[in-house]
Copies of this chain bind each other. A is one copy, B any other.
Amino acid sequence: MAGTGTRRKGLRLSRERRVAEIMAAARAVFREKGYDEALLSEIAERAQVVEGNIYRYFDNKRDLLVKVIEDWYETMLADYDQQLSRIHGTRARLNFMIWRHLKTVHDEPSLCQLMFLHLRTWPDYSSTAVHELNREYTRRTLDIVREGIEAGELRDDVPLRLVRDMIYGCVEHRTWAYLRGEGDFDPDKVADDIVDLVLGGLARHGARSEERPDIAERLENAVARLERLSAHPDS
């Protein structure tokens, strides 16, 4: 009982600080264990609080997860626009958006899984702040497409919404195995492949098939990577 490293009883923090501590602990536990396996008792222990005290600040376990993801999302999207602003050209900008998403999945698989499988599926997701943030996030992609259409580079007879669904749906399916812990993937390569497929389509539209259009594509992808490098040096 002489231990000083044990639970210091009666340590009282401001609401703000306590909330921050609980959310930090919760993020760690959720990340390690997933939603169902994450125990409030463990979160409480790591946050140095008693279990019941969490309910002063969060309605329930679910609410805690929502706030954790929300917090993560906000910091993640913070420098997004700035990075994007340095990249020019429809293809390169699309490439960046897709690559960025892939990179996020690659770096934070657990949190992404929580987002995909738990947050997004609950019936009140639409009223969440995360939903709104997510719409912002994907709206940029549609803006790029819209600009491409106005510039005459892209077809104007495709439902915009479907383009978004195709891109993000494709990313998600492509990363599914990785999220399940099976195998790995390379964000750069997958991004290139997806942009190529989305823009070019599967069919051969073939005036001259012997002329390799992919030379230009490969160069453009390379330039996109260079741009990314200057926008986000630690990629």
Chain A residues in the interface with B (C-beta under 8 A): 86, 88-89, 92, 113, 117, 120-121, 123, 125-126, 145, 148, 152-155, 157-159, 161-166, 168-174, 176, 180-182, 190, 193-194, 196-205, 207, 209, 211-216, 218-223, 225-230, 233-235
Closest to A219 in B: B222
Provide the residues of chain B in CB contact with A86, threshold 8 Å.
229, 234-235
Interface SS of chain A: helix, strand, loop or mixed?
helix
Contact partner, A204, options B152, B166, B193, Cβ 8 Å: B152
Provide the residues of chain B in CB contact with A173, threshold 8 Å.
164-166, 168-169, 172
* A220 B218 Cβ-Cβ under 8 A: yes
* A200 B169 Cβ-Cβ under 8 A: no
Complex CA–CA separation, A71 to B172 (angstroms): 27
Supposing A201-B197, A201-B198 touch, asked if A223 and B220 sit within 8 A by C-beta, the answer is: no
Provide the residues of chain B in CB contact with A222, threshold 8 Å.
89, 216, 219-220, 223
* A218 B216 Cβ-Cβ under 8 A: yes
Given contacts A152-B211, A169-B172, A169-B174, 14 further A-B contacts (CB under 8 A): A89-B225, A113-B121, A117-B121, A126-B182, A162-B170, A164-B173, A165-B170, A168-B169, A169-B169, A198-B201, A199-B201, A200-B205, A201-B201, A218-B220
Provide the residues of chain B in CB contact with A153, threshold 8 Å.
203-204, 212-213
> How many chain copies does the complex carry?
2
* B125 A180 Cβ-Cβ under 8 A: yes
Provide the residues of chain B in CB contact with A196, threshold 8 Å.
158
Contact partner, A180, options B126, B163, B193, B203, Cβ 8 Å: B126
* B202 A145 Cβ-Cβ under 8 A: yes
Provide the residues of chain B in CB contact with A145, threshold 8 Å.
202
A-B contact pairs, 8 of them (CB 8 A): A86-B234, A117-B121, A159-B193, A163-B197, A169-B169, A170-B170, A198-B202, A223-B223
Closest to A200 in B: B201
Provide the residues of chain B in CB contact with A235, threshold 8 Å.
86
Complex CA–CA separation, A220 to B228 (angstroms): 14
Complex CA–CA separation, A153 to B213 (angstroms): 8
